Structure 1
Amino acid sequence: MKILVTDPEGYVGSLVVACFTQQGHEVISVSQANGGAALSLIELAVTDLQNFDAVIHTGEICGNPALHPQIACNIHYRDAMHLANLAKATGVSRFIYLSSCSVYGAGEEEYVTEESPVRPQTPSATYKAAIESDLLTIASAEFSPTILRPAIAFGASPRIRFDVVLNNMAGLAWTANKINIPGKGLSWCPVVHVLDICQIINCILQAPRPLVHQQIFNVGDTNHNYQLIEIAAMVAEVFQVENFSFGHHGFGDRGLFMTFDKIHQFFPDFQCGWNPRQGAEQLLNFFTLTDSIQSHFTLTRSPYHRSDNYPFHTVSIA
């Protein structure tokens, strides 16, 4: 397949590029703003998308977009819909949009499914929900958008993020020998490894197009809903940390509990290959190869950390 992937410098996008290149696909990447790709998303024209089989839009914004609402609007809506309309006009039949479980907000139901109402609580989540809605609207017999709502991602990546729960706990455990737990640690938190996200993207690309046409999928495993204190305990055991602190901020006592029955009904062979303990072990091994983690936590507030030591031989999704 010839695949266009956005945000090759992002947490998920960098791994998607590595995974699908390793599988033998022809992967072309585009950045949204001063990334590592040769092309810029907003500069794309119809001629640039000719002969592509699929688009995987992983574009994301890090930090707090509430401080920059126009940037959030541009990245999360304008660029995404520009790309989708170009793909449709060019005849690219498959469009996978990596949204987020953040569109659900703090779950008010006992659990959330793909049929649950969206209640985005941040500008970023609001624009993701708008993109989802408009992508489904422009679907046609020749253009099949598929929307993914992953649980909260964890695990190593060439462009790792530390503003996600498990990675943040592991980073602090490694650099400060402590773990900070949001709130009282009782909030529910669904998690999924970034390689499992890559795995389901591969499943969708290989599936008959009518099966995934205009579909929304939660991505994860129902057994991988944990309370924050449970995730902290697994990280602490792996990193041999005994120093815990509790904060006043977090998801509240409820958090979010997701179910993933639909994706397993559509793809019976799909199984999440990583649990949080395995993810913590992977991060421990990853940190031993990356001597700049300490300076990242002490000198920068950016949630991203780029590593040239990512073990690419581990990215197989076959």
Structure 2
Amino acid sequence: LRFDLAVNNLTAWAFTTGKVYLKSAGTSWRPFVHIEDMSRAFKAVLEAPREKVHNEAFNVGRTSENYRIRDVAEIVAEVVPNSYVEFAPGAEPDTRNYMVNCDKLATTVPAFQPQWTVRRGVEELYAAYQQVGLKLEDFEGPRYRRISQIKELIATGRLDETFRWQVPVLA
């Protein structure tokens, strides 16, 4: 599980603190897709007629699953009981916007139909966090944040600067 992904992070904040904590103004757009839908899309493309998918690129998901981050935060607040949206002091707009059209995959490989929405994903995460008793310190540390984890592995000498594992020499 990664906590540097928006839905995972916002749901974790809501679950552990009651706050859906936004570090930006939440106005930027992002596409969202569940890993299960990604996996099913790979399978569907592999099973599709080669002439339809060879050398093609596809955006996976639903075009309708592009959201402003603040809208995702509102969904989280609706799903996680007793939580509310809070903006960090000085929260600024993130000027990066990514909206993705996923229609090509739906028309090229009609056997693939996404099953997940952001709301359903938040519901799944909330149930999982309840089951494991997630704590704030669990997800704010480097273990579940890819960049932080890599930096820590380099700092402790377990990875080198080219991202190769360093195996300790046994005496």
**Scaled by the length of structure 1, what TM-score is found?**
0.42
2:91 to 248, 251, 262: 248
Q: Deviations over 1:147-196 (max 9, x none)?
A: xxxxxxxxxxxxx1110111100111111211122422111111011110
Query: Which structure is higher in helix share?
Result: 2
1:183 matched to which residue of 2?
24
Matches within 5 A, 1:76-115: none
Give the conservation status (yes or no) of the 8 Å contact 2:16–2:134: no
Give the conservation status (yes or no) of the 8 Å contact 2:20–2:86: yes
Structure 2, unaligned runs of 5 or more: 147-171
Question: Which one-letter code corresponds to 1:167 in the other structure?
Answer: N
Give the conservation status (yes or no) of the 8 Å contact 1:182–1:228: no
2: CA distance, partners of 1:214 / 1:286: 38
Give the count of matched residue pairs.
Answer: 144
Query: Which structure is higher in strand share?
Result: 1
1: CA distance, partners of 2:3 / 2:92: 17
1:216 partner SS: coil
1:311 matched to which residue of 2?
none
2:59 partner SS: strand
Within the alignment, does 1:196 sit opposite 2:37 as a pair?
A: yes
2: CA distance, partners of 1:275 / 1:213: 28
1:168 matched to which residue of 2?
9
1: CA distance, partners of 2:100 / 2:30: 9
Give the conservation status (yes or no) of the 8 Å contact 1:181–1:245: yes
Within the alignment, does 1:303 sit opposite 2:154 as a pair?
A: no
2:40 partner SS: helix
1:284 to 126, 131, 135: 126
2: CA distance, partners of 1:303 / 1:217: 28
Question: Which one-letter code corresponds to 2:38 in the other structure?
Answer: I
1:257 partner SS: coil
Change (3 A) 1:243 1:257: closer
1:248 partner SS: strand
2: CA distance, partners of 1:278 / 1:250: 27
Change (3 A) 1:211 1:226: same
Give the conservation status (yes or no) of the 8 Å contact 2:22–2:91: no
Within the alignment, does 1:224 sit opposite 2:49 as a pair?
A: no
Within the alignment, does 1:264 sit opposite 2:82 as a pair?
A: no
Change (3 A) 1:289 1:183: same
Measure how far apart 1:301 and its partner are. 2.2
Q: Deviations over 1:232-272 (max 9, x none)?
A: 000011112124124635631x6111111211111123222
Q: Deviations over 1:86-132 (max 9, x none)?
A: xxxxxxxxxxxxxxxxxxxxxxxxxxxxxxxxxxxxxxxxxxxxxxx
Matches within 5 A, 1:65-76: none
1:215 partner SS: coil
2:50 matched to which residue of 1?
209
**Aligned Cα root-mean-square deviation (Å):** 2.1
1: CA distance, partners of 2:69 / 2:134: 27
Structure 1, unaligned runs of 5 or more: 1-159, 306-318
Give the conservation status (yes or no) of the 8 Å contact 1:221–1:260: yes
